[in-house]
Chain A
Amino acid sequence: MRAVKRQMIMAVTGAMLMLVSSVCFGSGIPDEITINSIQKYYSGVNFNHAAHINNLKDCGLCHHHTTGAQVSDPNCARCHKNSGAQAVVSCKGCHSATPFTPEALKLQRDQQPPLYHKDQVGLKGAYHLGCVGCHEKMQGPTGCQDCHKRNESGDKIFHSGSYAPKTTDTPKSSHH
């Protein structure tokens, strides 16, 4: 009786896994992704996923080993050469938007196995290091506002746009 139950659980889990992977690799691949989880000083980015897939072909360049594609990074390949598709493939699924909270620091410290995942960049770092790094190599846009327009609070903190310093001596705007 127990064994049957266990088999059923395994079958159901298997079916669910297949479902997840078909979502990831079937028609489930989004053509456009709105990156807007961190937009304090800039507006969100409407990321043309389809165009990037067409240009690059290799999912692993951005998604590492998670899509089941061959990983190009030899360090990742040590463990993930055949590890297959993962349930989570989105950037924010792994890269934390708040990588330096005491809890996050503890998590990273206790990471098992304590190898490459330990030095995982936060979400903002993952986006920019990935995007800007590749754009530099492939002559894509690299200016901040080439991808996302700065908003009002961005102008304020950068003392730019309508908040640019006046050439004549004017008293400091009272935004603090």
Chain B
Amino acid sequence: MIDRRDFLKGCLACGVTAASIGVAGKNAFAAGSFEGYPDSMGVLVDLTRCVGCRSCEAACNDEQNLPDPDLPFDDKSVFKEQRRTTDKAYTVVNKYEVANKDTLFRKMQCNHCNEPACLTSCFVNAYTKTKEGAVIYNSKVCVGCRNCMIACPFNIPAYSYSSPTNPMVKKCIFCYETRVKNGRPPACVEICPQQVMTFGHRADLIKMGHDRITSNPAKYVDKLYGEKEVGGTSWMYLSSVDFDKVGLDNHMQNEPIISNVKDFLGTVPMVLSIWPALFTGIHLLATKNKGGHGDHDHEEGDEQ
């Protein structure tokens, strides 16, 4: 009962917040194809340089005050399987054996999309794209609906269920609060011994990426991954092998994910305004019919 009441209270509060944010946020997307903020920062990741030392994972854990890992960060046994980001690890390094090529490693984390699907899919507007390019979120607003988890083309947002009544999104925030906001590079970038990651203005990094390919065409495949994918991302990649071989979808659409759901989004403001009423109605019905304990999860799922 408590859970449900909290959830509803949350919905009401969020509906109000979202409705007001919705008005302010509208302009950002009104332009149609949004090329990213002009001063957006970014990171150029050169996969040919990574040696899989996992220092970046260690630095992230420290910087973001994440829980202790199950294994030390110098333990290479983690490479036996493909890992994904979790609420306890905002970045993970995976190993890829590529036929006729050396082993490659790829660090994965949020790519900080120019037009983030997580942001556009979030009906309470928990996400913000900052002018520096970081995609951050307000976990106080998050209701744990997991829309963003499904929407993200890179499978990044994870959930913390440590509090059953308040599950919240957890993901890389580009070290926004502690570093990028103040013009400093993220912790992973700074610790990396191989300078796999180059921090800089996104526009400069695009040039730099192409220059690296041009000056060493035998070394790189002719593609800067993230320049165009899903409308462009702040984190971009260079590789010596097809991106498919290192776990990045090589056929990702160039249009932002928002285009797929534009029709849906058109209905969002209305949904937002009637949402609390809707939930109250369902709640009343459920209480009436089932005498209290309804299947909350199912209810919630149906609405998404």
Measured CB to CB, the residues of A under 8 A from B are 41, 75, 99-102, 105, 108-109, 116, 118-119, 121-122, 124-125, 127-129, 132, 142, 144, 157-160, 163-165, 172-173, 176
| Residue in A116, A125, A142, A159 whose beta carbon sits within 8 Å of that of B195 in the complex | A125
Interfacial chain A residues near B215, Cβ < 8 Å: 75, 116
Contacting pair A159 B58 (CB below 8 A): yes
Q: When the two chains form their complex, are residues A157 and B58 in contact, meaning their CB atoms are under 8 A apart?
A: yes
Contact in complex: A165, B195 (CB < 8 Å): no
- Chain A residue contacts of B71, Cβ below 8 A: 165
- B62-96 vs A: 1/0 string, CB under 8 Å? 10010111111111000000000000000000000
Contacts of A122 in B (CB 8 A): 195
- Determine whether the beta carbon of B190 is less than 8 Å from that of A100: yes
B37-68, CB under 8 A of A: which get 1 and which 0? 00000000000010101010011011001011
10 tightest A-B contacts by CB?
A125-B195, A160-B72, A100-B185, A128-B193, A100-B199, A158-B73, A102-B183, A121-B195, A159-B72, A157-B58
The CA of A105 and the CA of B55, in the complex, are separated in Å by 23
Among residues of B, the one whose C-beta sits closest to the C-beta of A171 is: B68
Assuming the contacts A101-B183, A105-B201, asked whether A158 and B58 have C-beta atoms less than 8 A apart, the reply is: yes
With A75-B215, A102-B183: A158-B194 Cβ-Cβ less than 8 Å: no
Q: List 11 A-B contacts (CB under 8 A).
A: A41-B191, A75-B215, A100-B189, A105-B204, A116-B215, A125-B193, A125-B194, A128-B195, A158-B73, A160-B73, A176-B62
**CB contact between A119 and one of B51, B68, B190, B212 (< 8 Å): that residue:** B212
A-B contact count (CB 8 A): 82
Interchain CB contact under 8 A, B194 and A157? no
Q: What 1/0 mask marks residues of chain B from 206 to 223 whose CB sits below 8 Å from any chain A CB?
A: 001001100100000000
Query: Which one of B49, B61, B74, B199 has the highest number of Cβ atoms from chain A below 10 Å of its Cβ?
Result: B74
- CB atoms of B72 and A164 under 8 A apart: yes
Please report the C-alpha to C-alpha distance between residue A165 and residue B75 in the assembled complex, in whole angstroms.
11
A150–chain B nearest beta-carbon distance, Å? 8
| Known contacts A100-B190, A102-B183, A109 near B204 by CB under 8 Å | yes
Residues of B within 8 A of A (CB): 49, 51, 53, 55, 58-59, 61-62, 65, 67-75, 183-185, 189-195, 198-201, 204, 208, 211-212, 215
- Given known pairs A119-B212, A144-B53, A157-B59, the reply for A165 and B185 (CB within 8 Å) is no
Q: How far is the CA of A172 from the CA of B51 in the complex (A)?
A: 29
* A100:B200 contact, CB within 8 angstroms: yes
Q: Is the Cβ of A158 less than 8 Å from the Cβ of B72?
A: yes
| Chain A residues, CB < 8 A from B185 | 100
Q: A100-B200, A119-B211 are in contact. List 8 more A-B contacts (CB 8 A).
A: A101-B183, A118-B211, A119-B198, A121-B195, A127-B193, A159-B61, A160-B73, A176-B62
Q: Which of chain B's residues have a CB closer than 8 A to the CB of A157?
A: 58-59, 61-62, 73
Complex contacts, A124 vs chain B, CB 8 Å: 193, 195
What is the bound-complex CA distance between A31 and B67, given in angstroms?
Answer: 45
Q: Across the interface, which residues of A come within 8 angstroms of B184, CB to CB? A: 100-101
A132 and B68: CB pair below 8 A? no
Which residue in chain A gives the minimum CB-CB distance to B43? A100
B209 to A, closest residue via Cβ = A119
Determine if B59 and A159 form an interchain contact, defined as CB atoms under 8 angstroms apart: no
Cα distance A129–B208 in the bound complex, in angstroms = 18
Q: A residues within 8 A CB of B53?
A: 144
